[in-house]
Amino acid sequence: GENVEQHPSTLSVQEGDSAVIKCTYSDSASNYFPWYKQELGKGPQLIIDIRSNVGEKKDQRIAVTLNKTAKHFSLHITETQPEDSAVYFCAASIRTGANNLFFGTGTRLTVIP
Amino acid sequence: EAQVTQNPRYLITVTGKKLTVTCSQNMNHEYMSWYRQDPGLGLRQIYYSMNVEVTDKGDVPEGYKVSRKEKRNFPLILESPSPNQTSLYFCASSFYRGPSNYGYTFGSGTRLTVV
């Protein structure tokens, strides 16, 4: 099956700085790459996703980039705020069959006020 | 409010005592799934169901059972829990074409401790 690696496992940034989280995947057939944010005591929530036919997608302060040749994708958060503090998970999936998501191991982001 | 409801939120049990964690969704989703979350391992899929009476194994199904008799409910059953099943469990649901087309809605989690 798919293997998704995520780095770093922890990340601390000053408020207002940018944060970048990187993931690699193993299965070249994967074509859907979502990012989930998990706040303390809650379940993960989808924040942005990208499909293999585009290289970049932005939504306000959040952007995701995809390099299919290198099989890696990244989450970029600009102008970080304390409420961005959470655990972030990347995932990969093949959009046929069972459609299962394979998750990375998570990154705990702390934004220091 | 559209949501996935898991019960209980916290559970401490003893080795070998059968337990059930319930999951219910009110969004008419066909696709439901159970994950466990462990430090350093992320979210690993236990079982999933693409519709009523259709279930299949995920990556870590050993020691677990599920059933899908109704569309809204997807209980997770531990017939004989062991300490290595101590974990944080999440139920999730999605529309019929699955989470790679519509994304998941997750429940708030069940923290299980087996002593």
Cβ contacts from A onto B, under 8 A: 67
The pLDDT-based confidence of A100 (bands split at 50, 70, 90) is confident
Which 3 state secondary structure label does DSSP give B14? coil
The pLDDT-based confidence of A12 (bands split at 50, 70, 90) is very high
What residue has token string 């999730």?
B92
Ramachandran region of residue A70, left (φ > 0), alpha (ψ -120 to 50) or beta? alpha
pLDDT in tens, A26-57: 999 898 999 999 999 899 999 999 988 888 99
Query: Chain B residue with minimal CA distance to A1?
Result: B59
Task: Of A91, A109, A103, A88, give the one whose Cα is nearest residue A34.
Answer: A91
Q: Which of B45, B100, B101 to mutate to test the interface with A (most CBs of A within 10 A)?
A: B100
Q: Per the CB < 8 Å rule, is B42 touching A46?
A: no
Across the interface, which of A32, A89, A94 has its CB nearest the CB of B43? A89
Residue A66, class by beta-carbon neighbours within 10 Å (0-12 exposed, 13-18 middle, 19+ buried)? buried
Q: Per the CB < 8 Å rule, is A43 touching B50?
A: no
Higher-pLDDT residue of B1 and A8 is A8
Query: Chain B residue with minimal CA distance to A32?
Result: B100
pLDDT in tens, B59-101: 899 999 999 999 999 999 999 999 999 999 999 999 876 776 7
Distance (Å) from the C-alpha of residue B79 to the closest C-alpha of chain A? Answer: 25
Q: Per the CB < 8 Å rule, is A101 touching B108?
A: no
Across the interface, which of A6, A43, A95 has its CB nearest the CB of B100? A95
Contact A68, A77 (CB under 8 A): no
Could you give the percent of chain A with pLDDT greater than 90?
A: 80
Tokens of A69: 């040749």
A20 HSE (CA, 13 A, CB side): 5
Across the interface, which of B42, B98, B108 has its CB nearest the CB of A105? B42
Is the pLDDT reported for residue A112 higher than 70? yes
pLDDT in tens, A65-75: 999 999 999 99
pLDDT on residue A97: 64
Is the pLDDT reported for residue A98 higher than 70? no
